[in-house]
Amino acid sequence: MTLPVNENPRCTFAIISHPDAGKTTMTEKLLWFGRVVREAGMVKSKQGNYAKSDWMEMEKERGISITSSVMSFPYNQRAMHLLDTPGHKDFSEDTYRTLTAVESVLMMIDSAKGVEEQTKKLMEVCRIRDTPIVTFMNKFDRDAMDPFELIDNVEKICSIQCVPMTWPVGSGVDFKGVYDIKTKTIRSFDEGNDPESEKVLDASDLHSAEVLDYIGTELAEKLEEDLEMIQEMMPEFIEEEFLAGIMTPVFFGTALHNFGVKETLDMISTHGPGPAPREVRLSPFDENSDLREVLPNEKKFSGFIFKIQANMDKKHRDRVAFMRVCSGVFERNTKIHHVRTGKDIKIASPLIFQAQDREITEKAYPGDIIGLHDTGKFQIGDTFTNGEKIEFTGIPSFAPEIFRKVLLKDPMKAKQLDKGLQQLSEEGTVQLFRRHTSPEKILGAVGVLQFEVVKHRLEDEYGVRGEYEGYGFVGVRWLKFKNDIQKDKFIEKNSINIVYDNKARPCFAVRSEWDLKLVMEKNEEVEFFTTSDFK
């Protein structure tokens, strides 16, 4: 596969949904239209009933997608990078970090259910960064909510203006296809047909014999009424408002039957923004540092790691760090500067990913996502440059709410446990804290399933079996001090509640909200943060 190198900017987007809304199915179909898989069904394995992007055994068993993945393909003269996100709420940190690496988002909605809890949360994240969103109302081959109701639901819950680009004609067994609002045509839904040779009817006259013959009088009348309402009540698509995250183009269809997928992909590839500027600290790892924006057209290369994924290929037990290129050109076998370690390194086999395959790439441009083989040197949030000492901001950890410690079943395995926990925390699977008053290590998670992944992987990859015991904390807060004297004093006074994160930053471990309130009142000069990426 070669990604096009031309004047068209990269299109880097993520797909989000509540579990079961059809994200995996849509991903598979997008890849099919992107010609990365030869036939739909190759991503979603028939025997395993899981997508190839769901690598881990646990995911198969549970039928949920834990890990994000990256899939690249050329489409419409652009290099497209599709980033998968885990739908399950326990992995929302991972999803958040993936969203920091994209410029737009495709939101899948189950049309029988409307906006569900997890989509609502993910949308809130998109709103923070004003990420442009394309909406796909899925499963119209089943009974669905009324399209106006669905639109109202998205607008109210997600606080975004919807603009229908297509409109469904019927739903469930009566689903006849979609009306294209701009071209005034009906694309007929004929289950099982090749989606690229869909029948298109001229529907500029909804009373024409051809239209009535296909959709019947009842649906034609309903469509006519609906279109009048749309014209009266809904705005037209305005690209600037889409790019500002104020307006979302809405498509209706059924991913399972390929219907509506191509229009959605056309929309993203035509209007999806290219790489945006990204903020960096001019003094790395200094919360008080001055900031600047790195522009994608700057000559000097820069990029950051937003995800580390282990076991992508079970046979090789490998670990891949995903880097988003932000400026300049990345070149294979050319020195790049790893800001956190201060070392210059050469990447011999930078990878780009398709559905199941990976390929070595010689160069990568702003917006590209490349995979770097990782032997444990990289961490989430690491910045790479041409030599410049800067650090990308905005790749946070969130304050965990559940804590556990590992009690080893076999004390001889202490070393393996340490290694395993260190690596898993660097990958962002779980957060690892060390207490101030003892060498004890504590695991912190946002969702309880994270511990299951840790347990499973410690056993499977490091041969470590353990008991997981609850811990009396309910949260942590990252701290910002005015100076070192204040810092030392605070740590001394609150030593029993001080823990250090994996970057050795001191945090206040919260035993109760009451506790936290009290310590904040007593230390008004110290700032407390719920995410690790504060300024």
Q: Which is nearer to ligand G4P, 53 or 302 (CB)?
A: 53
Q: Tell me: is residue 274 an annotated ligand-binding position.
A: no
Interface with ligand G4P in residues 198-237 (CB under 6 A): none
Which is nearer to ligand G4P, 122 or 347 (by Cβ)? 122
Q: What is the phi/psi pair of residue 506, to 5°? A: -75, 140
- The CA distances from residue 532 to 98, 362, 393, 484, in Å, are 16, 34, 10, 19
Q: Single out the residue of 55, 64, 68, 94 nearest to residue 369, CA to CA.
A: 68
C-alpha 331, offset from chain centre: 26
CB of 257 to ligand G4P, least distance (A): 6
Does the annotation list 22 as a binding residue?
Answer: yes
Rounded to a whole number of angstroms, the minimum distance from the CB of residue 419 to ligand G4P is 33
Q: Which is nearer to ligand G4P, 55 or 490 (CB)?
A: 55
59 part of the interface to ligand G4P, by CB under 6 A:
no
Which residue in this structure is represented by tokens 């079943």? 409
Q: Please check if 17 is assigned to a binding site.
A: yes
| Smallest gap from residue 41 Cβ to ligand G4P (A) | 10
List the structure tokens of 469. Answer: 């015991």
Q: Which residues touch 99 (CB under 8 Å, ≥6 apart)? A: 14, 16, 85, 105, 122, 125, 126, 129, 131
Contact status, residue 424 vs residue 56, Cβ threshold 8 Å:
no
147 assigned ligand-binding residue:
no
| Helical packing angle, 209-233 and 147-158, nearest 10° | 30
Q: Which of 122, 163, 256, 326 binds ligand G4P (CB under 6 A)?
A: 256
Query: Given the rule CB under 6 A, which of 93-101, 139-147, 388-396, 449-457 is the region that contacts ligand G4P?
Result: 139-147
Only one of the segments 17-25, 125-133, 219-227, 381-389 lies at the binding site for ligand G4P (rule: CB under 6 A); that segment is: 17-25
Total number of residues shown for the chain: 535
Residue 67 neighbours by CB under 8 Å, 6+ apart? 53, 54, 55, 56, 59, 86, 91, 94, 309
Which residue from 8, 45, 49, 204 is in contact with ligand G4P, where contact means CB under 6 A?
A: 49
Quick one: which segment of 137-145, 225-233, 446-454, 491-499 binds ligand G4P (CB under 6 A)?
Answer: 137-145
Q: Kindly indicate which of the ranges 13-21, 187-195, 289-297, 319-327 contains the residues binding ligand G4P, using the contact rule CB under 6 A.
A: 13-21
Q: Where are the alpha helices (DSSP H) in 463-512?
A: 484-493
Q: Does 262 bind ligand G4P (CB under 6 A)?
A: no
The stretch near ligand G4P (CB under 6 A) out of 133-141, 410-418, 511-519, 522-530 is 133-141
| Cβ-contact 99, 91 below 8 angstroms | no
138 counts as binding ligand G4P under rule CB under 6 A: yes
Q: How far is the CB of 108 from ligand G4P (least distance, A)?
A: 6
SS3 443: strand
Our CB check for ligand G4P shows the closer of 17 and 450 to be 17
CB of residue 84 to ligand G4P, shortest distance in Å: 9
Residue 454 to residue 456: CA distance in whole angstroms:
5
Handedness of CA 170, 171, 172, 177 (dihedral sign): positive
**Shorter beta-carbon distance to ligand G4P: residue 49 or 341:** 49
Question: Restricting to residues 19-48, which ones interact with ligand G4P according to CB under 6 A?
Answer: 19-25, 44
529 assigned ligand-binding residue: no
Pairing of strands 302-310, 185-188: unpaired
Q: Which range touches ligand G4P (CB under 6 A), out of 12-20, 300-308, 321-329, 355-363? A: 12-20
- What is the DSSP secondary structure assignment for residue 363, as one 8-state letter? E
From the annotation, which residues make up the binding site for GTP? Answer: 17-24, 84-88, 138-141
Site residues (vs ligand G4P, CB under 6 A): 17, 19-25, 44, 49, 87, 138-139, 141-142, 254-256
